[in-house]
Structure 1
Amino acid sequence: MNDTTLTPTRYTLWQMVGYMLGLGTWGFGGPVALVGYMYRDLVEKRGWISEADYKEGMAIAQLMPGPLAAQLAIYLGYVHYRILGATLVGLAFVLPSFLMVVALGAAYTAYGGIGWMQSVFYGVGAAVIGIIAMSAYKLTTKNIGRDKLLWAIFVVSLVVTVVTQSEVIWLFLGAGVLVWLVRVPPAWLRGGSVNGITAPVMGAVAVGAVDWGRLKQIGLYFAYAGSFVFGSGLAIVPFLYSGVVKEYGWLTDRQFVDAVAVAMITPGPVVITTGFIGYLVQGFWGAVVAAVGTFLPCYLLTILPAPYFKKHGKRPAVVAFVDGVTAAAIGAIAGAVIVIGQRSITDWVTATLAIATAAVLWKFKKVQEPVIVLAAALIGLVVHPLIAHA
């Protein structure tokens, strides 16, 4: 049980819910920015969450599959208000961006053929490539460093993603096991770290009871995706591409890039793009089922191990497994830049936009992604009609 008696509660549950509702509404910048906002606001400024609780939340979010920022929010809700807090805080964080992508999905479905919307996504789709490229670079430098084994896993994962144009789940898990066995003596094989491997599998199996035709298919697929995507929400991009475009044919290449662009335009977790995809496939209820399917596994895999994490979370075997999985996930993100870029970069204008986006993010650290996305949208509105009629 988490010892909260040493850290007096300085806030009510509804104050935390209100904060997360605001962060979900205005929190642009992707998972790295969102977890940074939570630390700044909840640990440093308000003192609602202790340093130790925040670090535990970050560790469990890295260990378990699912979107990083959403899992951290759920854990922080759990710290003082247990399951009720985790549930309400998680809903508050995700709901604003979900409503936004449903509205955008409705507009896209109704007006997707109109020139202005095509022009907007022409510019935004190219900018997204630059944003993902910089995210992949930051994640690589922050998490892999000079570790030769992690670099080897990164390269293999990148190449496999590009060649197969999909995310190979067993490569992720295999990478975690490999680093575990290399770094930690085999005697640890019987330790608690095995849970880090079996939990995602159990999460995928646990949602198999839905029986609503196409909604069942959507629910199962997105629950599967939510059960196996580690770290940054961007890690889900190559996985979703292989499923919704290649395997099921629910979306075209263009629609998929637009879905990623929508996720970059809206605040909150990047993985909310699943709600937009669900809307395009099956309307409002498709969006609901896709979003629930994506977030339910990460919710369960955050609150279920939370009481035991203090005891087992710092074991060397667990740390090694997470490092391996993270390296493979980052490699998949880097590979996704190439795969998606082949479809978004269609001419010299989009190529220039992608390169310029990466350059701006590199040079000007404080520039927020939404500003770049807005600029790219305006450029698309001006340039695309000229090129289309040239």
Structure 2
Amino acid sequence: MQPSHVKPAPVTFWQAFVFWLKLGFISFGGPAGQIAIMHEELVEKRRWLSERRFLHALNYCMVLPGPEAQQLATYIGWLMHRTWGGVVAGGLFVLPSLLILVVLSWVYIAFGGMSVVAGLFYGIKPAVTAIVLQAAHRIASRALKNKVLWAIAAAAFAAIFAWDVPFPLIVAAAALTGYVGGRLSPATFTAGGGHGGADKSYGAALIDDDTPTPPHARFRWSALALVIGAGAVLWALPMGALAMVFGWDHTLTQMGWFFTKAALLTFGGAYAVLPYVYQGAVEHYGWLTPRQMIDGLALGETTPGPLIMVVAFVGFVGGYVKAVFGPEAQFVAGATAAALVTWFTFLPSFLFILAGGPLVESTHGDIKFTAPLTAITACVVGVILNLALFFGYHVLWPQGAKGPFDPWSAVIAIGAAIALLRYQRNVIHVIAACAVAGLAIKLVWY
């Protein structure tokens, strides 16, 4: 092993390519798990960059809409190997998950009625309810540090639960509250924040604390204009082609437009935007049913990559069921829709990094959550709690309010919640155990 005081050898583009490809297949565990994997591999073991530079990049990604782990991979890849390094790092973080989800979505939609598949999903769905509840608890414990932020969370819950207020309006109201409140009482809205100090050192790093910013990462107005222009073209060309070929009201065109908006609302992670996806994909467009939405989240939890990849499942099911290319090409329609929604969902994430990275590298001071983002994070807690109740209702009363209560689903959900909240068990292990329990119940009692 190389001594800690000696800098590692320079990393070639293809060496980095192999690592990012590997990461795409092992990035389980949601954002926290994925960031932990990158920290262990890149900071502790390989020493590609220092602790301080890693946290500096992470704090920037945390204040952006979008999946912070994927954006962090993009940032590090860009910092090390220019634009193509960032594109490869971020793309390989998503691509394996997309391919796996397309296959699993097809198995689900084509063979979901088989007893074995149905039994596995019977156990997984209550686990998903517990997982969403855990997400609300985790964010609340970090974000709700005073009565004002608790009140924002409660108001957001009431708005979406009682009055079905659209998610974008809730986010806008929270941001405005944070902006005004941050001016009147700054201390109240500094409860959020980054990931702490960067006091640890694992030895000399390839990109160390005192390593000068590489030339390509320095801010230039011409480079910023080029990134913005390229991003506009990469969005407008497929969107314009869809509108011209199929029309604005076609399923694929509406998917592109809807998930572009969703990509800009993912403050607080994937769980925060799921209610918006549900409102649009289930209630407004009818691309899939509430039960299918729960199943899609279950698949997203069990595959590598960012959880927001559940949008690929939504796209696949919508394209498949709507048979946008005719009844004889349903798989092609589903796969095309999944690829399209993935493109429109993740394109802004790449642009945020490639456009904003040079501004971030111009200073190595910590980047804090602003007051509006602190308020948005608080409102996300209420929205996610509503999502947990929504999932719980459909799992425990699968036939609706007038149907019978499902006691076995309640037992599995309670067991999963205890395992996650009390014993801090791994999400994948909990899902696997619940799937086996669901299959056993289906085979023995039904």
**What TM-score do you get using the length of structure 2 for normalisation?**
0.76
CA distance 1:288–1:117, shift in 2 (3 Å): same
Cross-structure match for 2:76? 76
1:85-234 to 2 correspondence within 5 Å?
85-144=85-144, 146-164=145-163, 167-184=166-183, 209=240, 210-211=242-243, 212=246, 213-234=250-271
Which of residues 250, 253, 260 is equivalent to 2:297? 260
C-alpha distance in structure 1 between counterparts of 2:163 and 2:50, whole Å = 44
Match of 1:240 among 277, 280, 283: 277
**1:337 has 2:392 as partner:** no
Partner SS, residue 65 of structure 2:
coil
Q: Which amino acid counterpart does residue 140 of structure 1 have in structure 2?
A: A
User: 2: distance between equivalents of 1:101 and 1:260?
Assistant: 11
Which residue pairs with 1:191 in the alignment?
none
Distance 2:357 2:10 in 1: 21
The answer to whether the 8 A contact 1:124-1:377 is kept is yes
User: Residue 166 of structure 1 contacts residue 239 of structure 1 at CA under 8 Å; is this kept in 2?
Assistant: no
Q: Unmatched 5+ residue regions in structure 1?
A: 1-6, 187-198
Cα distance change, pair 175–314 in 1 and its aligned pair in 2 (3 A): farther
2:418 is aligned to: 359
Question: How has the CA–CA distance of structure 1 residues 109 and 319 changed in structure 2, closer, same or farther, with 3 Å as cutoff?
Answer: same
Per-residue deviation, 1:318 = 5.8
- Three-state SS of the structure 2 residue aligned to 1:286 is helix
3-state SS of 2:264 partner: helix
Alignment length (residue pairs)? 365
1:214 CA drift (Å): 2.1
- Equivalent residue number for residue 192 of structure 1: none
Take 2:9 and 2:179, find their aligned partners in 1: how far apart are those partners? 37
CA distance in 2, matches of 1:115, 1:227: 39
More helix by share: 1
Deviations 1:328-377 (A, max 9, x none): 22322222111222112231111111111111122333x32111111111
> How far does residue 239 in structure 1 lie from its aligned partner after superposition?
1.4
Asked whether the 8 Å contact 1:105–1:279 carries over to 2, the reply is yes
- Structure 2: which amino acid aligns with 1:221? F
Shift of 1:16: 2.9
What is residue 279 of structure 1 aligned with on the other side? Answer: 316
Decide whether the 8 Å contact of 1:59 with 1:313 is kept in 2.
no
For residues 9 and 267 of structure 2, what CA distance do their matches in structure 1 show? 31
User: 1:256 offset after TM fit, Å?
Assistant: 0.8
Tell me if the contact between 1:180 and 1:317 (Cα under 8 Å) persists in the aligned partners: no
Task: Give the distance between the partners of 2:49 and 2:366, measured in 1 at CA.
Answer: 24
In the TM superposition, residue 249 of structure 1 has moved relative to its aligned partner by 0.9
Structure 1 distance, partners of 2:163, 2:285, is 16
Which residue type is aligned with residue 162 of structure 2?
V
Q: Distance in 1 between matches of 2:423 and 2:10?
A: 37
How much has 1:143 moved relative to structure 2?
2.5
Distance 1:314 1:170 in 2: 33
1:234 alignment partner AA: Y
Which residue does the alignment assign to 1:294?
Answer: 345
Judged with a 3 Å threshold, the aligned counterparts in structure 2 of structure 1 residues 381 and 156 are, in CA distance, closer, same or farther, namely: same
- Superposed CA offset, 1:186-211 (max 9, x none): 9xxxxxxxxxxxx9xx99x9655342
Q: For the Cα contact (< 8 Å) 1:265–1:370, is it kept in 2?
A: yes
* 8 A Cα contact 2:182 2:372, kept in partner: no
Calculate the TM-score normalised by the size of structure 1. 0.86
- Aligned-residue Cα RMSD (Å) equals 2.6
Aligned-pair identity in percent equals 30
Partner of 2:403: none
Range moving further from structure 2, 273-282 or 113-122: 113-122
**Unmatched runs of 5 consecutive residues or more in structure 2:** 1-6, 186-227, 320-333, 398-405
Q: Which amino acid aligns with 2:441?
A: V
Tell whether 2:432 aligns with 1:374.
Answer: yes
What is the identity, as a one-letter code, of the residue corresponding to 2:265?
Answer: F
Secondary structure in 2 aligned to 1:65? coil
Of stretches 65-74 and 206-215 in structure 1, the one that deviates more from structure 2 is 206-215
Aligned residue for 1:327?
Answer: 378
For 2:99 and 2:378, locate their aligned partners in 1 and report how far apart those are by CA, in whole Å.
33
With over 3 angstroms needed to count, the CA separation of the structure-2 counterparts of 1:323 and 1:12, relative to structure 1, is farther
Give distance in 2, aligned partners of 1:9 and 1:226: 37
**Alignment partner of 1:305: what SS?**
helix
Match of 1:266, SS state, is coil
C-alpha contact 1:180 1:318 (8 A) present in aligned 2: no
